[in-house]
Structure 1
Amino acid sequence: MIAPVNLLLVAALAGVLALCVLGSLARSGMAGIKEAICANLLTLLAFGAFAFQATGAPLFLSVILANTAVALALCAYYAGLCRLVGRPVPRHFMALASGATLLVLAAYTYIEPRIGARMVAMSALMTGFMLAIAVTVGHGMPMNRSRYSYHFVRVVAFVSAVVCAARAVVYLLGIAAPQALLLPTAWNIAFMTLGVLTMPCLTLGTIMIIHDRMLADREQEANTDFLTGLMSRKAWWLQAERYCAQALRTRRPLAMLLLDIDHFKRINDTHGHAAGDAVLRHFGLLATATLRTGDHVGRVGGEEFAVLFPDLRSDAVMEVAGRLLDSVRRTPCSHGGSTISYTFSAGVANWIPGESLQAFFERADRKLYTAKARGRNGIVGPGGDADRQLLPTAA
């Protein structure tokens, strides 16, 4: 049977490895990393202080300091987890629970020395923190990403809560005689084997959550146009291909609006490139406010934008595009104390079942160039034998 001191050594080595990984992630700036590092350092301090029980060290070192480090480690880890998943940190509640537990611990160390009572008090505190961790990480689960790492932390926290609660019940009801932590009794070995691995396992789960968040951030950066906040060309194209495949399966209509801001080079030359960027951002805001939530809009070129309309045909899209064009005309862009008026030209096309996205895009692009050839500031869509053009209403 492995000795408790050896268990502490194994857990300490696991904690050092966890610290090395956390240290490599510290520069990412992800919320919760500093708290996780602090929690592991405090846990290592606690293990070292507990180990002094075998040397007959003063109780202040081997009991009070050791358990204070455990309480602070729990507070640090839970605070970091709350920040990581975007939940408020209950600092006052954590301080109250930890402070009350440590006062009880001190009383049963110096006033009425009772090992069992100390074990029950600390086990109750750890049970409460583990349950709080399980609940908090459950509330912070993402909607559209893998939840494996979150479930891992929940399971570790719940198992630890069960172990701590069982430890409290065993010593509270006198099922086993309380012994000093490092005595190699069956109960001590059983509880320590599960207990000392809690923080390394929680840290492993936290590292997985941090990694998942970092991947999500990188994907968001890659899929979002940094200037307008709309979808990037690559992300729009990939999603559009999925829309086409879905329309082929369901036989539902699908239409595309392809538009280009008129005389954008003139805007840059007259007002400067910063003003041109402001116009692009301004259009992105108007498009987001005017289009439906399910309409798939992205920036596919310098001043070119594409919108895919699931379940709509060109007639309905022409009306939506007309509202957007009127909104652009009536809401000029303000930049640097000046007002920049602009318009756009657009083409609308219906998807033909079985048609590739490239061919679909090119047909909408030809409509767009027809709108430009007819004087810009208008929208051209399919209309039987001849293209139909929609001009903006008078302001």
Structure 2
Amino acid sequence: MIAPVNLLLIAALAGVLSLCVLGSLARSGMAGIRETIRANLLTLLAFSTFALQNTKAPLWLSVLVPNTAIALALCAYYAGVRRLLGLSVPRHLMTLGCLAALVVVAGYTYVDWRVEPRIVAMSLLQMGFMLGVAIVVQRNMPPHRSRYSYRFVWAVTMISAVVCAGRAAVYLAGLDSVSAFLDPTIWSVAFLTLGVLIMPCLTLGTIMIIHDRMLADREQEANTDFLTGLMSRKAWWLQAERYCAQALRMRRPLTLLLLDIDHFKRINDTHGHAAGDAVLRHFGLLATATLRTGDHVGRVGGEEFGVLFADMRSDAVLEVAERLLDSVRRTPCAHGGSTISYTFSAGVEDWIPGENLQVFFERADRKLYAAKTAGRNRIVGPGQEAERPLLPVAA
């Protein structure tokens, strides 16, 4: 049977390796990393001071310090997971739980020397934190990404909670009796073996979640136009190709609205490039508020935007485009204490089944060109050279 002290040494080495990996991620500034590092450091402190129980070290150092370190490590890890998932940290509840467990530990150390109640109290404390982490992770799994890392953490915390509950039950029922925490009984060694593996496994799971979140952030940056918050040209084009393939497979209509903000160069020359950026942001907000959630809108050029409407034909899209144009006319952009009125010109085309996306885009672009040629501030649809003239708006 492996000695408990050797188990603590193995766990300490695993903790050091975990800290090395976490240290390499600290520069990212990702929420929750510092708390996870703190949890591992406190766990190392607990393991090193637990090992002093077979020596003549004072009780405060061999009993109170390691149990306090374990309690603080649980708090740090739980707080780190919540911060990583963008949640608030219930500090008062965590503090009350830790204080209750540590009062039991202190009482059965200095008032009535009994190891079993201390083990029960700390087991229940750890079980509570592990169940808390499992619930938080389960409720906050990403809907559109791989959930492997989240499920890994959930599985580890649930296993840990079961182990802690079993350990508490064993010592409550008197199935094992120890005079010190590191007595090498079958039960104590079995529970210690499982216990020392928990923090390295949890740290591994946290690292996987951090990696997944960092990857999601980079993908978000690549797929989002930094100025308008709409889809970038590359992301829009890739998604548009998928829309075309889906429309062909399911035999559903697909319509493209291609629009260009009128006289945008004049806006930049008259009001400055910062004002031009404000107009682009303003249009992005109006488009988001006016269009449906599933409408595929992106910035495909400097002041040019594309919107794909799945399951809609051009007659319905023309109505939506008119509402968007009316919203733009009625809601000028506020910038630098002044307002900038602007409009857009647009072309609308229905997709022909089997048509190449580039050809589809070019057909809509020709309609857009027709709208601009006819005087701007208008929308041209299929079979039209230019829609009825609209009242001009100063840009």
TM-score, normalised by the number of residues in structure 1: 0.97
Matching residue of 1:309:
309
Q: In the alignment, is the contact (CA less than 8 A) between 1:35 and 1:80 conserved in 2?
A: yes
Q: Does residue 336 of structure 1 match 2:336?
A: yes
SS in 1 for 2:177: coil
**Distance in structure 2 (CA, Å) of the matches to 1:178 and 1:190:** 14
Mapping of residues 236-255 of structure 1, within 5 Å: 236-255=236-255
**Distance in structure 2 (CA, Å) of the matches to 1:152 and 1:270:** 57
**1:30 corresponds to which letter in structure 2?**
M
Mapping of residues 71-110 of structure 1, within 5 Å: 71-110=71-110
**Distance in structure 1 (CA, Å) of the matches to 2:297 and 2:197:** 49
Matching residue of 2:180:
180
**1:310 corresponds to which letter in structure 2?**
A
Q: Does residue 260 of structure 1 match 2:260?
A: yes
How far did residue 249 of structure 1 move? 0.9
How far did residue 107 of structure 1 move? 0.6
Mapping of residues 214-229 of structure 1, within 5 Å: 214-229=214-229
How far did residue 232 of structure 1 move? 0.4
Mean CA deviation greater in 129-138 or 231-240: 129-138
How far did residue 179 of structure 1 move? 4.0
Matching residue of 1:362:
362
Q: In the alignment, is the contact (CA less than 8 A) between 2:42 and 2:69 conserved in 1?
A: yes
**Distance in structure 1 (CA, Å) of the matches to 2:71 and 2:366:** 68
List gaps (5 residues or longer) in structure 2: none
Matching residue of 2:115:
115
Matching residue of 2:26:
26
SS in 1 for 2:44: helix
Matching residue of 2:319:
319
**Distance in structure 1 (CA, Å) of the matches to 2:390 and 2:113:** 86
Matching residue of 2:347:
347
Mean CA deviation greater in 299-308 or 311-320: 311-320
**Distance in structure 1 (CA, Å) of the matches to 2:157 and 2:178:** 24
**2:93 corresponds to which letter in structure 1?**
F
Identity %: 76
**Distance in structure 1 (CA, Å) of the matches to 2:391 and 2:126:** 68
**Distance in structure 1 (CA, Å) of the matches to 2:331 and 2:5:** 73
Deviations 1:343-376 (A, max 9, x none): 1111111000000111100100111111111111
Q: In the alignment, is the contact (CA less than 8 A) between 1:87 and 1:140 conserved in 2?
A: no
Matching residue of 1:163:
163
CA 1:390 to 1:25, structure 2 compared with 1: closer, same or farther past 3 Å?
A: farther
**Distance in structure 2 (CA, Å) of the matches to 1:392 and 1:171:** 83
**Distance in structure 1 (CA, Å) of the matches to 2:23 and 2:198:** 19
Q: In the alignment, is the contact (CA less than 8 A) between 2:370 and 2:386 conserved in 1?
A: no
Matching residue of 1:140:
140
Q: How many residues are treated as equivalent by the alignment?
A: 393
Off by >3 Å, runs of 4+ in structure 1:
390-395
Deviations 1:46-98 (A, max 9, x none): 00100111222111111111100000100111111111112331111110110
Q: In the alignment, is the contact (CA less than 8 A) between 1:325 and 1:392 conserved in 2?
A: no
How far did residue 126 of structure 1 move? 1.0
CA 1:348 to 1:390, structure 2 compared with 1: closer, same or farther past 3 Å?
A: farther
**Distance in structure 2 (CA, Å) of the matches to 1:214 and 1:303:** 30
How far did residue 393 of structure 1 move? 6.3
**1:40 corresponds to which letter in structure 2?**
N
**Distance in structure 2 (CA, Å) of the matches to 1:295 and 1:96:** 49
Q: In the alignment, is the contact (CA less than 8 A) between 1:368 and 1:379 conserved in 2?
A: yes
How far did residue 175 of structure 1 move? 0.8
Matching residue of 2:200:
200
**Distance in structure 2 (CA, Å) of the matches to 1:214 and 1:283:** 29
Deviations 1:294-348 (A, max 9, x none): 1110000000000001111111111111111111112111111121111111111
List gaps (5 residues or longer) in structure 1: none
Q: In the alignment, is the contact (CA less than 8 A) between 2:371 and 2:386 conserved in 1?
A: no
Q: In the alignment, is the contact (CA less than 8 A) between 1:380 and 1:390 conserved in 2?
A: no
Q: In the alignment, is the contact (CA less than 8 A) between 1:5 and 1:51 conserved in 2?
A: yes
SS in 2 for 1:255: strand
TM-score, normalised by the number of residues in structure 2: 0.97
**Distance in structure 1 (CA, Å) of the matches to 2:95 and 2:189:** 30
Q: In the alignment, is the contact (CA less than 8 A) between 1:257 and 1:347 conserved in 2?
A: yes
How far did residue 394 of structure 1 move? 8.3
Q: Does residue 231 of structure 1 match 2:231?
A: yes
**1:387 corresponds to which letter in structure 2?**
E
**2:75 corresponds to which letter in structure 1?**
C
SS in 2 for 1:277: helix
**Distance in structure 2 (CA, Å) of the matches to 1:197 and 1:318:** 62
CA 1:390 to 1:208, structure 2 compared with 1: closer, same or farther past 3 Å?
A: farther
